Chains A and B, each alone.
Chain A
């Protein structure tokens, strides 16, 4: 990757609002040109602050942010040329849709004809060609959202920031808009930095995801790696569903390790984030990786079925396994009747690779 391909670079950025605590702790992050990067994390994790620093509405307390290799800490927002989509769209209520779109072109001193042409093209891009003369208040939530996206793109910025843009939409519309934004990104080739707390949104849309917690990037990788290979307990817990088992490492064998759970059960796990023998560890296990007919698997344990929930395409089985009563197994509904009943003791098993030995969190 050459220097030229990096559009944004955070270098040792720190941010504090009160001078007592850090909201962003030593952030180093390179964003590649044309990339769709999502900052994902719970509220208060520092992701929105990072976005606001990039947009220029907050100043970094320490460190430097580079845009196209140029430090921008002292560049005011309006000179950064970064498009932005806000959480509540921030469409100007006193202007029509077309005037909203023409606004960034007007302040750039573009000719009337050019403005009209670009506004028309942007409206067509988001399939709202006939809505130019409406006021934002006359549009539905989804339409307003599209106008906001079109407005952030109409002046052809290289970089677009989106701050939880789909938060106000209902589930169905949100999913549809996820694809639309994704397609616009693919078609235009702009770089997008997207902030959300919704992990499924992040997985659907992103090239790379930066998981934030406590002011630190916990993991930066593609959606599949994030799910398959979480680097620590927080990521495992935050992305997707996850079973936790706690124990102590008894033996290390290359990339694998043996773990003894607190109730004495011995398991084999993938050694990801433990140092060595004697460490406390949290084992992370995805519910759909657990088998009810465990043949040829490294880990086989007995569990008691506590609850069965029928969900159509799969059945959620809540079990008591090794003292964890919240242990969940997802069984795919293959059509045949399965002899599962509450109170039954059954053997379950999983591969050592699917069981990640991660850092221990109290």
Chain B
């Protein structure tokens, strides 16, 4: 109902005089609440079992409470020490270290601190283990000499510099490690050439993922085209063939590739039998990058085909017919008229395959050997073997931000609105 107020401006109100907008918002709120309640179980489940652990894990990439928690008095005493003086800290710091270590040795936390610090500087683990064993046998007073007596590292300014650097509760140390950098005498510097590993691994992950995406597109495009254009009878059968891999265990498929690709495997045997390859020079197709590319292309192919298919299915055959009736050859009709309309599908498939492959773990682990593994294999190693969770988290954060960055670039170039999954 329209109510013209005194100033002449028409204010839309409902019958009982509440402004229409307020009333509408109220009416919609109930609907919103209802839909929120419907998704709440899933939302809460994801929050608890997925988002929270991830956030916690990512937080570990900068967290460094262990030094301040294990050696609280030493950290406090060290803050007064002028690191640039080039002299060892005073007796008070050594005394504080003694008090801290006595407690730590009782609680056996000093070994954990040692292995934590060992990630950054080797030798730290044994230093703390050794010192921890003898710290309760120390005499009162003159701790400085006694400590240096236990291990001459305590008389090295470098050790103290190192401790001071890692005494804050948060540290960029893991991230520096993750990009092959470290603290040097003059601040942050790259590690020596032969110790660098992660930057190259990141580069290889990206490069191989792009290669896999490219070969998926090359192989998947014609299949998707057939799927979208064959008569229903045949396309259903083809669709089953495309989906078949989803019904087989990933491990089975990857192992099948091992059987096929290994040097005494089916493909090599056939090639030797055909005389294409010499028996002594069998092709090495597994436990290297080739193996990773072949196996992952096979495994990720459906993720390229399905978005492509769903886009192609909506393209009416009359477009190509129109192009041909206007004088275009088969190729021109495809390239100028059909192909541009499939770009949203290519975008969707490429993003899907790229993001899946950049974080892929099992397949590179099984068929990648040493030069075909991805950054995720390294992350898994730090999670389960070296137990350096902080570094694993830092690598994970970098991987995640790389993906997000690529997403952003992709959005700028192609436009995320152009992506169609069906």
Contacts and interface: CB of A to CB of B under 8 A. Distances in A.
Contact of A155 (B324, B326, B329, B341): B326
Interface string B320-338: 0111111111101100110
A19 to B, nearest CB: 15
B315 to A, nearest CB: 9
B319 interface: yes
A89 to B, nearest CB: 8
B326 A104 contact: yes
B316 interface: yes
B326 A86 contact: no
B322 A90 contact: yes
B323 A103 contact: yes
A55 B325 contact: yes
B90 interface: no
B276 to A, nearest CB: 39
Given A103-B336, A107-B332, A90 B321 contact: yes
B14 to A, nearest CB: 36
Interface residues on A, range: 20 to 34
Main secondary structure of the interface of B (DSSP, over half): helix
A101 to B, nearest CB: 10
Chain A CB count within 10 A is highest, among B326, B336, B337, for: B326
B332 A94 contact: no
A104 B321 contact: no
A108 interface: yes
A86 B322 contact: yes
Contact of B324 (A78, A88, A161): A78
A81 interface: yes
B318 interface: yes
B327 A94 contact: no
A77 B321 contact: yes
A92 B336 CA distance: 9
A109 to B, nearest CB: 10
A108 B328 CA distance: 8
A209 interface: no
A93 B343 CA distance: 13
Chain A CB count within 10 A is highest, among B316, B319, B322, for: B322
A80 B330 CA distance: 14
B316 A88 contact: yes
Contacts of A104: 326-328
A86 B321 contact: yes
Nearest to B322: A90
Contacts of B326: 78, 83-84, 103-104, 107, 151-152, 155
B415 interface: no
A87 B318 contact: yes
A152 to B, nearest CB: 8
A86 B318 contact: yes
Contact of A57 (B321, B329, B337): B321
A79 B327 CA distance: 6
Contacts of B123: none
Contacts of B327: 78-79, 81, 104, 107-108, 155
Contacts of B324: 56-57, 76-78
Contacts of A152: 325-326
A103 B316 contact: no
Contacts of B322: 84, 86, 90, 92
A65 interface: no
Nearest to B319: A90
Given A78-B327, A107-B326, A107-B327, A93 B341 contact: yes
A86 B329 CA distance: 19
Contacts of B318: 86-88, 90
Contacts of A88: 316, 318
Interface in A328-352: none
Chain B CB count within 10 A is highest, among A82, A87, A103, for: A103
B340 interface: yes
A176 to B, nearest CB: 24
A76 B327 CA distance: 10
A269 to B, nearest CB: 46
Interface string B171-183: 0000000000000
A90 B319 CA distance: 5
Contacts of A90: 316, 318-319, 321-322
A82 B337 contact: no
Interface in A70-119: 76-84, 86-88, 90, 92-94, 103-104, 107-108
Nearest to B336: A103
Contacts of A56: 324-325
Chain A CB count within 10 A is highest, among B324, B333, B336, for: B324
A167 to B, nearest CB: 13
A81 B326 CA distance: 7
Contacts of A92: 319, 322-323, 337, 341
Contact of A94 (B328, B333, B341): B341
Given A90-B316, A90-B318, A84 B325 contact: yes
Contacts of B325: 55-56, 77-78, 80, 82-84, 152, 161
Chain B CB count within 10 A is highest, among A77, A93, A152, for: A77
Nearest to A93: B341
Contacts of A151: 326
A84 B327 CA distance: 11
Contact of B329 (A78, A80, A83, A94): A78
Interface in A29-79: 55-57, 76-79
Interface in B327-357: 327-330, 332-333, 336-337, 340-341
A86 B316 CA distance: 11
A251 to B, nearest CB: 55
A146 to B, nearest CB: 15
Contacts of A161: 325
B328 A103 contact: yes
Contact of B340 (A80, A83, A94): A94
Q: Which 3 pairs of residues, A with B, have the shortest CB-CB distance?
A: A104-B326, A90-B322, A84-B325
Given A77-B325, A78-B325, A94-B341, 10 more contacts: A79-B327, A82-B325, A84-B321, A84-B325, A86-B318, A88-B316, A107-B326, A107-B327, A108-B327, A155-B327
5 contacts: A79-B327, A81-B327, A90-B318, A92-B341, A107-B332
